[in-house]
Amino acid sequence: MIKARILSTVLLGCIVTGTALAYVTMPARLMIVGSSDGSALLRIDHGVQSPNSGAPPQPAHATVFRFDPASKVYRTTGTFALRNPIAPMTAMISDGAEFIVTCDDYKPMIGCTPNVVVVYRGSGEIVKAWSLEDIFSPAEIMRFGPFAMNVPLRPWRGDDVRFVTDSKGPAVWIPNGRTLPWLVDLRLDLISLTFEKYPVREMDK
């Protein structure tokens, strides 16, 4: 495909093959993801934390690219800082770069920071951020556990986070973590910015 070939040369020689990626879950120094229709790309550069150097910390940064049909190249439309000090564990960009969604800070902070879910506009404006406590009650969080004592890690979700458009409108679907005691899928409505919970029944496993 033309877009795939252009992508391999435009973004610093980083190659993405096959269909456009909707999300990634293992941060590298350079993370690149694409919208499902290939119209937008998201590049995330790791933040820099050097406490011994005396230099101020630099958070992770995102750069948004939009495909220009006339020139058939991806053009930079903006660069902005993310809320993540190092990197998000999962990131995705919607078709047309309308929304960017990240999940969790780079491990071992999964589920333990105010950045469990963050929604940005494609311009970089922060729409809203949630911690695990903003989504679940204390009793519900306990149903995920028991979490290990003194370990900043709460694996609360599955990996295949994705944008969906259903009868209710645009949303983010967050699947359950299959190995957890309590299986619950989440739907984040991108209009009302509210979560709906869908506990998985035993018969559905």
- How confident is the model over 152-198, as pLDDT tens digits? 788 899 999 999 999 999 999 999 998 888 999 999 999 999 999 99
Quickly tell me which residue has 């295949």 as its tokens.
160
| Triad 127, 88, 133: Cα angle to 5° | 65
pLDDT > 50? residue 1: no
Q: Which residue in this structure is represented by tokens 């973590």? A: 177
> Could you tell me if residue 24 is inside a domain?
yes
Is 84 within a domain?
yes
pLDDT on residue 165: 96
Q: How far are the Cα atoms of 155, 158, 170 from residue 177, in angstroms, in the given order?
A: 7, 4, 23
Q: 144 in helix, strand or coil? A: helix
Residues 198 and 187 sit within 8 Å (Cβ to Cβ)? yes
Q: In which residue are the tokens 């299986």 written?
A: 183
Q: Does 168 reside within a domain?
A: yes
pLDDT tier, 18 (very low <50, low <70, confident <90, very high otherwise)? very low
How many residues appear in the chain? 205
Assigned domain for 145 exists: yes
pLDDT of residue 173: 98
Does residue 52 fall inside a structural domain? no
Average pLDDT over residues 89-110: 93
> What domain range is 62 assigned to?
2-47+58-204
The three-state secondary structure class of 111 is: coil
Does a structural domain hold residue 12? yes
Note the pLDDT of residue 53: 67
Task: Estimate to the nearest angstrom the gap between the alpha carbon of 135 and the chain centroid.
Answer: 16
Provide the pLDDT confidence category of residue 51 given band limits of 50, 70 and 90: low
46 SS3 class: coil
Count: domains in the chain: 1
Contacts of 196 (CB under 8 A, 6+ apart): 186, 187, 189
Question: Per-residue pLDDT averaged across 74-92, rounded?
Answer: 96
Mean pLDDT score of the chain:
84
The answer to the question of residue 183 being in a domain is yes
Those residues with Cβ within 8 angstroms of residue 7's Cβ, 6 or more apart along the chain or in another chain: 15, 16, 34, 41, 74
Asked if pLDDT for residue 16 goes beyond 50, the answer is no
Lowest mean pLDDT among 54-58, 88-92, 130-134: 54-58
Residue 53 lies in a domain: no
What's the average model confidence in pLDDT over 105-130? 93
